[in-house]
Amino acid sequence: MSARVLNGKELATKIKGELKQTVEEIKKKGIYPGLAVVIVGNDPASRVYVNSKKKACEEIGIESFEYALDENVSEEDLIKLIKKLNNDDRVNGILVQLPLPKHINEEKIILAIDSSKDVDGFHPENVGRLMTGNPQFLPCTPAGVMELIKESGIEIAGKECVIVGRSNIVGKPQSMLLLAEHGTVTICHSRTKNLEEVVKRADILVVAVGKPEMIKGNSIKPGAVVIDVGINRLEDKKIVGDVEYESCSKVASAITPVPGGVGPMTIAMLMKNTVKAAIAQAE
Ligand code: GUN
């Protein structure tokens, strides 16, 4: 048996096409969505992500404003920039690409972003709203995962959902979204005992740990839905996920490829949040 491929690239293209139409419509009413993208330092992976986000803005008709800051910028100056963007009417969404250099406190930076412009959904107000079931902006990667699962007609209610990884960006918010759809959710991490046993129970498995090809075919339940959030560049430049695609695709019922799975969906969800922010701010 070969698993169904959950094609994120295709779905993201469809969503971006719909957003493009929405943007054309709202521009007629004088709403011009804008996204500020802030990048600090020269991390090559962050540069690739930021360029993809800017390109998506262009495709859809969202204006993007890039702020590329020196690696050594002070926390104070970064906060000053964010405050300026909070008060800039052309900017509906603010994204500060993570990770930030070690001398900058990420939590302070996220707190400085106006929660109504927090299109990443990282501000504590938005995290809290997600947790209490009244979200304003869904975090982009977990939201993209949900869209992929739902679009494929996969039922979540009552299923054993196992997430490997407990980050604020993916693991934790992913658990809330699966729970909201009535999944039975377990989060695993580096201290989890019997990780293999828990992973093997999963009807829906989401892996977001940043360890190349950590999950093998013989670790998963036959027929599982496998969502691979990892993007790892090997020494030979090949990009692989946290899941060994070759072996897992023979055991799973559905699987996301890397690249072309969750990655493009993250960007589509960012665009969706930015359009939503622009509409909300015009009201
Ligand atoms: N770094 C890795 N993923 C993300 C993301 O979704 N948003 C931001 N701002 N930084 C990231």
Task: Give the CATH number for residue 72.
Answer: 3.40.50.10860
When pLDDT is averaged across residues 66-73 and rounded to a whole number, the result is: 98
Residues 161 and 206: beta-carbon distance below 8 Å: yes
When pLDDT is averaged across residues 103-128 and rounded to a whole number, the result is: 98
Is position 52 within any domain?
yes
Q: Does one domain contain both 207 and 255?
A: yes
State how many domains the chain has: 2
Identify which of 38, 48, 52, 97 to mutate to test ligand 1's pocket (most ligand atoms within 8 A of the CB). Answer: 97
Is position 4 within any domain?
no
- Residue 208: give the domain boundaries: 140-262
Tokens of 157: 């209610």
Tokens of 268: 């589509």
Rounded Cα distance, 76 and 109, in Å: 9
Is position 175 within any domain?
yes
Closest residue to atom 1 of ligand 1, CA basis: 98
Strands 225-228 and 254-255: parallel
Q: Does one domain contain both 39 and 109?
A: yes
When pLDDT is averaged across residues 224-237 and rounded to a whole number, the result is: 96
Residue 194: DSSP 8-state: T
CB-count burial class (<10 Å; 0-12, 13-18, 19+) for 201: middle
When pLDDT is averaged across residues 181-203 and rounded to a whole number, the result is: 98
Taking 80 as the threshold, does the pLDDT of residue 1 lie above it? no
Mean pLDDT of the chain: 97
C-beta of 140 in contact with ligand 1 (< 6 A): yes
Q: Does one domain contain both 149 and 235?
A: yes
Read off the pLDDT band of 76 (50, 70, 90).
Answer: very high
Q: Does one domain contain both 101 and 161?
A: no
When pLDDT is averaged across residues 110-130 and rounded to a whole number, the result is: 98
Rounded Cα distance, 262 and 212, in Å: 15
Least Cα distance to 11 among 265, 253, 229 occurs for: 265
Other beta carbons within 10 angstroms of residue 110's beta carbon come to: 21
C-beta of 141 in contact with ligand 1 (< 6 A): yes
Q: Does one domain contain both 111 and 155?
A: no
Taking 90 as the threshold, does the pLDDT of residue 283 lie above it? no
Is position 254 within any domain?
yes
CA distance to 44, 82, 140, 225, per residue, from 117 (Å): 26, 11, 14, 33
Percentage of the chain exceeding pLDDT 70 = 100
Please work out, in degrees rounded to the nearest 5, the angle formed at the alpha carbon of residue 205 by the alpha carbons of 95 and 214: 85
Q: Does one domain contain both 158 and 244?
A: yes
When pLDDT is averaged across residues 254-259 and rounded to a whole number, the result is: 98
Helices (H), 35-165: 44-60, 75-86, 106-112, 124-131, 140-151
End-to-end CA distance of the chain: 51
Taking 90 as the threshold, does the pLDDT of residue 113 lie above it? yes
Annotated active-site positions, please?
53, 97, 120
Q: What is the DSSP string of 233-280?
A: E-TTS-EE-SB-HHHHTTT-SEE--SSSSHHHHHHHHHHHHHHHHHHH
Would you state the pLDDT for residue 236?
94
Q: Does one domain contain both 169 and 226?
A: yes
Is position 255 within any domain?
yes
C-beta of 95 in contact with ligand 1 (< 6 A): yes
Rounded Cα distance, 92 and 274, in Å: 7
CATH number at 155 reads 3.40.50.720
pTM for the whole structure: 0.98
Q: Does one domain contain both 173 and 60?
A: no
Is position 155 within any domain?
yes
Is position 154 within any domain?
yes
Taking 80 as the threshold, does the pLDDT of residue 98 lie above it? yes
Q: How far is the CA of 97 from the centre of ligand 1 (A)?
A: 5
Is position 218 within any domain?
yes
Would you state the pLDDT for residue 168?
97
Would you state the pLDDT for residue 7?
98
The half-sphere exposure of 230 on its side-chain side, counting CA atoms within 13 A, is 27
Q: Does one domain contain both 109 and 145?
A: no
Closest residue to atom 4 of ligand 1, CA basis: 98
Residues 116 and 125: beta-carbon distance below 8 Å: no
